[in-house]
Amino acid sequence: MTRYTSSPMLRAVATGALAALLGGCASFSPDGGLDAVSAMTSARTGQDLQLTQAKHDSGATQAEVARLLGAPLTADGAVRVALLNNRGLRASLAGLGVAEADLVQAGRMRNPGLSFSRMSGGGETEIERGVMFDLVGLLTIPIRRDIEARRFQGAKLAAAMDAVRLAADTRKAWFNAVAAAQSAQYAEQVREAAQASAELARRMARAGNLSALDGAREQVFSAEATAQLARARHQATAAREQLARLMGVWGAQTAFTLLERLPDLPAAPRDGDNVESLAMRQRLDVQLAKLDAQATARALGLSKATGFVNVLDAGYVNTSKTGAPREQGYEIELVLPIFDWGGARVAKAEALYMQSVHRTAHAATSARSQVREAYSAYRTNYDLARHYRDEIVPLQKKISEETLLRYNGMLIGVFELLADARAQITRVTASIEAQRDFWIAETALQAAINGSGGSAAAAASVVSSAAGSVDAAAPEH
Amino acid sequence: MRSRRDFFTGAAALVGAGLVSRAGAATLPEAPIMSSAATQPPPPPPNGRPYNPVVTLNGWSLPWRMNNGVKEFHLIAEPVVREIAPGMKANLWGYNGQSPGPTIEVVEGDRVRIFVTNRLPEHTSIHWHGQRLPNGMDGVTGLTQPGIQPGKTFVYEFVARRPGTFMYHPHADEMVQMAMGMMGFWVTHPRNPAQHRVDRDFVFLLNAYDIDPGSYTPRVNEMLNFNLWTFNSRAFPGIDTMNVRRNDRVRIRVGNLTMTNHPIHVHGHEFEVTGTDGGWTRPESRWPEVTTDVAVGQMRAIEFIADEPGDWAFHCHKSHHTMNAMGHDVPNLIGVDHRGVAEKIARLVPDYMVMGDKGGSMGDMEMPLPDNTLPMMTGQGPFGGVEMGGMFTVLKVRKDQKPGDYSDPGWYRHPPGTLAYEWKGEPPAALRKQDAGGQSMPAANAPEVEVTVRKPTGHQGHH
Ligand SMILES: [Cu+2]
């Protein structure tokens, strides 16, 4: 038990801490990390995040929101409004400031303290004066700064993930809202056809040409169509409100108008060959997992180097579970190597490192699977939408033409003509829904490549063993 | 060398022989093929016993070959395309290029040998409807003979013992084969040409098809819902007129191979039924008629002196048999006011047009129809639309129609004072009697039913 006073490792830590202390204090960045988040978001959504800092919540932002809401709203416009205006995202961005403050704090010594006590009793008075200096804090500054820097980086990734997810959700909501509004319009036409049938039936009954049974049958079509229209109208309202929530609009802003039609299908679907590698490069949750693996690698290295610095509780930065706030944290303690020379600690650090490596591999494997599934959905919905556009709708048109010819020849009656009109409208509505589903699948594919796989994909991950792309997560020594 | 075809001067549509095979050519008589659906004027018999030939409405008679005193005919059962009327063709099965097949004309006592070659995709046979013949020649598949398989030729041979009016048709898968048009007419002339002699002798079969509007092939699994009612597989306005000279004695022979009866009605004349399935009726058994019902599977010969000049309607009196394809479930819109509704429907169906609110007549409306679909009631007469289809034609009686001339003389020119005309004066007030008469067995609690008479006001023109 004589070696502890001359431990070279402890000396090294102490020297490093002093060097960092003398090297100057950490300071706040001019953008609070927002530029990096904005760049990440922009690369993935085509929309940057400028002007969204709470303290810069100027009239300019509101003016832009007002300008976007004033014209018929496009999908991109809706995303822009959401990125400018969604308070949930703003809260998430505010988390950046917290992380940066922690980082700056970590680079600073705790202030020295003075203590003074005066005790009196039994006729005696004792005065103690002391100067306290945070030696442990001094020693751990480099470690703390390193950890906080990674946490800040993690916060930026998390904020960008939020932004990308919000953009994706908003795009989906926009497609839903436009399609629902279109469907509601067609439901109105169906009702009009049914009402015409019913009205004709009433007049036939009045002229003595229709029995009560057949009359009631025609009326019930009309009554049903009215119920369908009510449902369709509510659907349109619900879809629009979902969009309004994501855009964070309220009051007069909710009077926005949407484009009347969904965008046309692209001439050709995108190629699915490189989506997995793209996702490995761009997915933020994968990057977050890598960052965490790097952090635990550093911790492992440190534990191996000293045996006496315990940073093992430096928490795995959770890929945020929806609804719950992200949990992160760490604890550093300096231990005196009297009874334990740190072997168990190193073993634990290695286990934790391997845990984070597996987590990273798991994130990568899930991401690859999600993106493959998303591409399948994208491609299927593209083909379906095109099938509706090029096959089903033209065939229905042909049916309607032929039906009219048969009506002309008095081979069928007006009720069959109207029933065909209803069938035609139903198929057109199905075609719109197929087009909507394509655009939603396209958005989901973008999210699977760029973000965190979207809300739906987050539930899909299960434990998998195969490691993906985790090279960057190797220990750094 | 004179071929059978030379007797059909003007019958350019009669085309080359359909020989069954080179090996069979030496023994098989020629099988002429007819490519036209027009009425072919009858040639006198080139050989054999003399007779007065019949005129097959929109059809023709089959030439024969004399072989050691036997009349040899060759029928080829085959798929054909028959023009039902201009603007509509049908994929049918028939004989020698047409459906129905050619009329076979023989003379009482003739020994007849008929070669039947099957070019259908399934076996067939021919039953000689109404003939007295050896049982083994009766043509009932399974009962009196095996079916004639595709590509095979069978020979039927018998003596035409009884003069009269007959038909031929398959007795093999007959529901399908008759629904597809397999049938033909047969006339056995009396040995003495002077007996039952008439100036014009028209023959045709009654037949019915179910061809979906827009399609070409009859539905064969049809029981009673036929939608095309035809004379010799032709529908008005595709049926030729019967053109006669005034005071001609005219005979019209009708055979019914549909699944329902047809009250055949002629305008302007009374006739007598002079022939039935069983032969000639005795003069003392005849009574005058203007309509005679031709039941399923029956033949009737009617005769009259065409002494009233003019264009006289001649048709089946079942009114839906003088229509072409029509909808059975078309709602009844008579008297239904379309104001407002029509505009609403037109918003959904831009080419919508109100029909049927004043009745079924489509008048002069010309609207596009499905492919290969005859309008329900068309045919233009000198005074406008005839509003007929199906089993309808015109008996044209003219004083200057030459004997043997079957060409259409055009529309009748009515002598002054013989044409209905419009009254231009004030219409008198109608006197109405309100008493509907007593009831012999009035119901105890009969509910009062109120029906309001609606009269067209003339202000309902939404077309
Ligand atoms: Cu009839």
- Strands (E) in B242-358, as ranges, are 242-245, 248-256, 262-266, 271-276, 279-280, 288-289, 291-294, 299-306, 310-316
CA separation for the pair B294, A324 (Å, rounded):
90
Residue, of A353 and B36, whose pLDDT is higher: B36
pLDDT of residue B76: 98
Q: Is B175 on the interface with A (CB under 8 A)?
A: no
Measured between beta carbons, the chain B residues lying within 8 angstroms of A406 are 213-214, 327, 369-370
Angle at B194 between CA B192 and CA B200, to 5 degrees: 120
Q: Is A203 on the interface with B (CB under 8 A)?
A: yes
Quote the DSSP letter at residue A318: P
Interface of A with B in 79-138 (CB under 8 A): none
pLDDT of residue A472: 33
Residue A329 has pLDDT above 80, yes or no: no
Q: Do A410 and B348 touch (CB under 8 A)?
A: no
Residue, of B150 and A451, whose pLDDT is higher: B150
Tell how strand B65-67 and strand B164-169 pair up. unpaired
**How far out from the chain centre does Cα A28 lie?**
27
pLDDT in tens, A252-308: 899 999 999 999 999 999 998 899 999 998 888 888 888 888 888 877 777 776 666
Maximum separation of any 2 CA atoms in chain B, in Å: 87
Q: B172 and B202 in contact (C-beta within 8 Å)?
A: no
Interface residue of A197, A404, A410 to substitute, partner B, most B CBs within 10 Å = A410
Interface residue of A192, A400, A414, A428 to substitute, partner B, most B CBs within 10 Å = A414
Q: Do B330 and A189 touch (CB under 8 A)?
A: no
pLDDT of residue A460: 31
- A377 half-sphere exposure, CB direction, 13 A CA radius: 21
Q: B95 and B120 in contact (C-beta within 8 Å)?
A: no
Kindly report the backbone phi and psi dihedral angles of residue B126, in degrees, each rounded to the nearest multiple of 5, phi listed first.
-130, 130
CB-based burial label for A346 (10 Å; 0-12, 13-18, 19+): middle
pLDDT confidence bin for A337, thresholds 50/70/90: low
Work out the average pLDDT over A91-102: 81
Kindly report the backbone phi and psi dihedral angles of residue A153, in degrees, each rounded to the nearest multiple of 5, phi listed first.
-60, -40
- Expressed in angstroms and rounded, the spacing between residue A73 Cα and the centre of ligand 1 is 67
Maximum separation of any 2 CA atoms in chain A, in Å: 126
Q: Is A406 on the interface with B (CB under 8 A)?
A: yes
Tell how strand B299-306 and strand B271-276 pair up. antiparallel
- Tell me if residue B316 falls in helix, strand or coil: strand
Q: Which residue of B has its CA nearest to A208?
A: B451
Q: For residue A243, what are its two tokens?
A: 């969009």
Residue A57, min C-alpha distance to chain B (Å): 51
Q: What is the DSSP string of B151-188?
A: T-EEEEEEE--S-EEEEEE--SSHHHHHHTT--EEEEE
- Expressed in angstroms and rounded, the spacing between residue B120 Cα and the centre of ligand 1 is 29
Q: For residue B290, what are its two tokens?
A: 């203007």
pLDDT in tens, A14-66: 444 444 444 445 577 777 778 888 888 888 888 877 644 545 556 778 888 89
- Expressed in angstroms and rounded, the spacing between residue B324 Cα and the centre of ligand 1 is 12
Q: Which residue of A has its CA nearest to B351?
A: A404
Quote the DSSP letter at residue A390: I
Quote the DSSP letter at residue B322: G
State how far the alpha carbon of A243 is from the alpha carbons of A70, A79, A172, A257, in Å.
Answer: 16, 10, 9, 12
In sign, the C-alpha dihedral spanning B138, B142, B147, B153 is negative
Among residues A430, A405, A416, A398, the alpha carbon closest in space to that of A193 is found at A416
Q: Is A398 on the interface with B (CB under 8 A)?
A: no
Quote the DSSP letter at residue B460: -
Indicate the angle between helix axes A284-306 and A275-282, nearest 10 degrees: 50
Instruction: Give the helix/strand (H/E) hosting B76.
Output: strand B70-85
Q: Is B333 on the interface with A (CB under 8 A)?
A: yes
Residues A62/A63/A66/A71 CA torsion (nearest 10 deg) = -150
pLDDT in tens, A188-208: 988 988 898 899 999 999 888
Quote the DSSP letter at residue A391: I
CA separation for the pair A405, A180 (Å, rounded):
33
CA separation for the pair B135, A290 (Å, rounded):
99
CA separation for the pair A292, A355 (Å, rounded):
10
CA separation for the pair B164, B169 (Å, rounded):
17
pLDDT in tens, B35-79: 999 999 888 999 999 999 999 999 999 999 999 999 999 999 999
CA separation for the pair A473, A292 (Å, rounded):
8
Unique residue bearing structure tokens 């059978």: B4
CA separation for the pair A237, B246 (Å, rounded):
82
Q: Is A186 on the interface with B (CB under 8 A)?
A: no
Q: For residue B19, what are its two tokens?
A: 């020989």
Instruction: Give the helix/strand (H/E) hosting A59.
Output: helix A59-70
CA separation for the pair B365, B357 (Å, rounded):
14
CA separation for the pair A475, A466 (Å, rounded):
19
Q: Do B341 and A204 touch (CB under 8 A)?
A: no
**Other CB atoms within 10 A of residue B41 CB:** 16
CA separation for the pair B260, B74 (Å, rounded):
31
Residue A430 has pLDDT above 70, yes or no: yes
**How far out from the chain centre does Cα B24 lie?**
35
- Expressed in angstroms and rounded, the spacing between residue B433 Cα and the centre of ligand 1 is 37
The ipTM, to two decimals, is: 0.81
Interface of B with A in 432-451 (CB under 8 A): 451
CA separation for the pair A201, A216 (Å, rounded):
9
Residue B266 has pLDDT above 60, yes or no: yes
Residue A85 has pLDDT above 80, yes or no: yes
Measured between beta carbons, the chain B residues lying within 8 angstroms of A207 are 334-337, 454
